[in-house]
């Protein structure tokens, strides 16, 4: 099920050009060379149900039971004479900010009601209930950069996934998404919701895994976009979205960089410890560069970094910044001139610091997703706000064979198998390793006398590479060694069907048949 949210009613809420404020929510930030387009697409993940098909009374439930995935997208666009949208329009078009309930998403309210409800909720969250909604007019009228449903620019661009915090949405980082898109990235954001309609927990292993799978779906979706190159991907995450970002980077080889904005799972020991609740948590599998930009001025590295032995780790301390300052709320505070026990920086410093965070994020992705040289966080203004640190990888990344063998040794065969199969459900063409890797692991299992597991490893390899004569020959050799003659004959014959000249299969088949 798929329904593109065609939002042709932009003019319904448009203000005259003279009324529209300048880009207040961009502050000191300057856009890149590309124009920016914006879309919202509602998808349904057929591999997951988020609510029962029947009511407690046994009656058919209204609406689809499938998990709804609302993908908010920014992308490099062709020049257009169309007017860019205003910040208030994001309240209308991003369905994800209106309700967490499946029934509301199945039958959305009229545009004006959606806009009003979303604006009220966002204002309450972003400005601590201190400012009446009447003062929001300049914010809602502020021009943004994106043009609704603009034609994509020519070429294929790397993909950056956004993982929001608990119950968070793309609107909170709209400026950052526009900025990255203007520098040649396709940004895909999926709202943060609970495990399903009956369980709205926003922490713990089930929630982390649920959000990680939403992000996996978005990355698989990107493979269908002609202008997106999903083989080059990064993730940026705010607050509790950091857990899903870290878990996805541990199991998807397309992810080549992770950025955390005061990310709880990276920044606090309590949340970092909860990552262990996920069956897919393995810090040795995270080998890509990771950057944490954190509020405050801690003299030590973020807690999670101690366990990431194979990843280059960077962090930036932002003294005087609040947790919300990593979102567009920072620019709202600056525009309204707010200062209190939470908002400590002056409006001018807030604008400069917010711009610096976005520039650092772009530099990081340019270095590690686009492979454009080294990353440096030096010289970020204001100098009295930012300080930074670096931890190089303590060890070189382990080979894929050793990694998989470690998973088998510590968590068992089903854990390793489930990691591979979970990813291939959303990306059927994805293969975690070259075919020789599982051959190596299977041989090692035989040496360790873990014979049944060795066969399961090699059988998994035949599922990944069914047209490889080498894979079938290797399976036949192990089956022969363990006395499974009939199975060995079947495997050798399969190898010879693919390549009649395969010497391993030819001699193996002759050897087994001679013994019969």
Residue 359, helix vs strand vs coil: helix
DSSP 14: P
Query: Tokens standing for 352?
Result: 């400069």
First to last CA, the chain: 55
Mean pLDDT of 474-485: 89
Reply yes or no on whether the pLDDT at 369 is more than 90. Answer: yes
Cβ(133)–Cβ(120) below 8 Å? yes
- What ranges in 306-399 are assigned the alpha helix state H? 329-336, 347-368
- List, in order, residues 6 or more apart from 348 with CB less than 8 Å away: 334
Cis previous bond, 156, omega within 30: no
Threshold 0.95, pTM exceeds: no
Token pair recorded at residue 374: 């080294």
- The 10s digit of each residue's pLDDT in 327-336 is 888 888 888 8
The full 3-state SS of 382-396, as one line of letters, equals: CCCCEEEEEECCCCC
How far is 326 from 352, CA to CA, in rounded Å?
12
Distance CA 324, CA 153 (A): 33
Beta-carbon contacts of residue 141 (< 8 Å; ≥ 6 apart): 15, 19, 20, 21, 86, 87, 88
pLDDT digits (tens, 9 = 90+) for 26-35: 989 999 999 9
188 CB-near residues (< 8 Å, 6+ apart): 71, 72, 73, 159, 160, 161, 162, 218, 219, 221, 222
CA distance 136 to 170: 19
- Cα separations in angstroms, 310 against 277, 279, 290, 365, 393: 21, 20, 11, 19, 5
pLDDT of residue 104: 43
CA dihedral 447, 452, 456, 462 (to 10 degrees): 70
238, 326 Cβ separation under 8 angstroms: yes
For the chain, list the domains and their CATH numbers. 2-9+23-51+64-391 (3.40.50.1820), 400-515 (1.25.40.10)
Cα gap 83→486, rounded to integer Å: 70
Rg, Å, the chain Cα set? 26
Could you give the 3-state DSSP secondary structure of residue 203? coil
CB 311 within 8 A of CB 286: yes
Measured N-to-C along each axis, helices 469-481 and 451-464 cross at an angle, to the nearest 10 degrees, of: 160
> Which tokens is 192 given?
């943060």
Q: Does the N-terminal peptide bond of residue 348 adopt cis geometry, omega within 30 degrees of 0?
A: no
* Tokens 């993730």 found at: 235
Under the banding of pLDDT at 50, 70 and 90, the label for residue 141 is confident
Task: Give the tens place of pLDDT for each residue, 417-461.
Answer: 776 676 666 666 666 677 777 888 788 778 878 888 888 888 888
Lowest-pLDDT range of 15-24, 72-81, 245-254, 388-397: 15-24
Instruction: Look over the chain and give the mean of its residue pLDDT values, rounded to a whole number.
Output: 81
Contact (CB, 8 A) for 370 and 161: no
Mean pLDDT of 279-286: 84
* Residue 321, token pair as written in the block: 């910044």
| CB distance 73 to 41 below 8 Å | yes
How big is the CA angle at 487 (ends 486 and 492), to the nearest 5 degrees? Answer: 100
Q: Which whole-number Å values give the CA distances from 124 to 53, 116, 131, 447, in the listed order? A: 35, 12, 9, 62
Tens-place pLDDT, residues 216-268: 999 999 999 999 999 999 999 999 999 999 999 998 989 999 999 999 999 88
Q: Residue 16: which pLDDT band, with cuts at 50, 70 and 90?
A: very low
Enclosing H/E stretch for 397? none
How many alpha carbons lie under 13 Å from residue 15 in its C-beta half-sphere?
A: 18
- Nearest Cα neighbor of 315 from 260, 374, 268 is 260
Q: What is the mean pLDDT of residues 100-118?
A: 51
pLDDT (0 to 100) of residue 278? 84
Would you state the pLDDT for residue 449? Answer: 80
Which range is least confidently modeled, 1-5, 136-140, 246-250, 278-282?
A: 1-5
| 290 vs 313: CA distance, rounded Å | 5
Model pLDDT for residues 152-202, shown as the tens digit of each residue: 999 999 999 999 988 777 888 999 999 999 999 999 999 887 665 445 555
């Amino acid at each position: 099920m798929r329904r593109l949210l065609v939002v042709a009613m932009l003019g319904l809420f448009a203000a005259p050009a003279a009324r529209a404020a300048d880009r207040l929510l961009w502050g000191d930030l300057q856009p890149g060379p590309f124009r920016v387009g914006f879309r919202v697409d509602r998808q349904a993940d057929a591999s997951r149900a988020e609510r029962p098909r029947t009511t407690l009374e046994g009656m058919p439930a209204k609406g689809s039971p499938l998990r709804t995935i609302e993908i908010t997208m920014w992308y490099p666009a062709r020049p257009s004479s169309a007017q860019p949208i205003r910040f208030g329009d994001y309240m209308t078009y991003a369905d994800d900010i209106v309700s967490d309930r499946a029934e509301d998403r199945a039958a959305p309210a009229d545009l004006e009601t959606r806009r009003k409800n979303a604006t009220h909720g966002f204002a309450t969250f972003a400005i601590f209930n201190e400012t009446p909604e009447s003062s929001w007019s300049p914010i809602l009228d502020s021009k943004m950069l994106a043009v609704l449903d603009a034609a994509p620019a020519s070429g294929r661009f790397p993909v950056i996934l956004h993982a929001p915090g608990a119950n968070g949405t793309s609107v909170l980082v709209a400026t950052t998404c526009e900025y990255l898109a203007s520098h040649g990235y396709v940004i895909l954001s999926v709202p943060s919701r609970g495990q399903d309609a009956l369980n709205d927990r926003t922490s713990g292993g089930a929630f982390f895994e649920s959000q990680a799978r939403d992000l996996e779906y978005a990355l698989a979706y990107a493979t269908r976009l002609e202008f997106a190159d999903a083989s080059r991907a990064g993730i940026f995450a705010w607050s509790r979205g950091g857990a899903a970002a870290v878990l996805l980077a541990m199991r998807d080889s397309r992810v080549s960089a992770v950025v955390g904005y005061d990310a709880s799972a990276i920044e606090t020991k309590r949340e970092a410890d909860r990552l262990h609740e996920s069956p897919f948590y393995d810090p040795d599998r995270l080998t890509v560069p990771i950057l944490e930009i954190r509020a405050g001025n801690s003299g030590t590295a973020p807690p999670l970094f101690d366990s990431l032995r194979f990843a280059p780790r960077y962090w930036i301390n932002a003294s005087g910044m609040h947790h919300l300052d990593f979102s567009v709320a920072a620019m709202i505070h600056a525009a309204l001139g707010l200062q209190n026990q939470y908002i400590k920086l002056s409006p001018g410093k807030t604008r400069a610091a917010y711009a610096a965070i976005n520039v650092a994020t772009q530099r990081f992705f340019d270095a590690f997703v686009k492979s454009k040289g080294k990353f440096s966080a030096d010289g970020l203004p204001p100098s009295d706000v930012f300080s930074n640190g670096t931890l190089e990888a303590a060890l070189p990344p382990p080979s894929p064979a050793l990694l998989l063998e470690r998973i088998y040794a510590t968590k068992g065969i089903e854990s390793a198998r489930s990691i591979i199969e979970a990813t291939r459900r959303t990306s059927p063409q994805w293969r975690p390793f070259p075919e020789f890797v599982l051959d190596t692991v299977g041989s090692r299992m035989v040496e360790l006398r873990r014979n049944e597991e060795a066969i399961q490893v090699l059988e998994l390899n035949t599922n990944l590479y069914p047209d490889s004569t080498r894979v079938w020959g290797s399976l036949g050799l192990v089956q022969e060694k363990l006395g499974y003659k009939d199975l060995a004959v079947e495997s050798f014959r399969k190898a010879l069907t693919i390549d009649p000249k395969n010497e391993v299969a030819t001699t193996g088949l002759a050897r087994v048949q001679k013994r019969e």
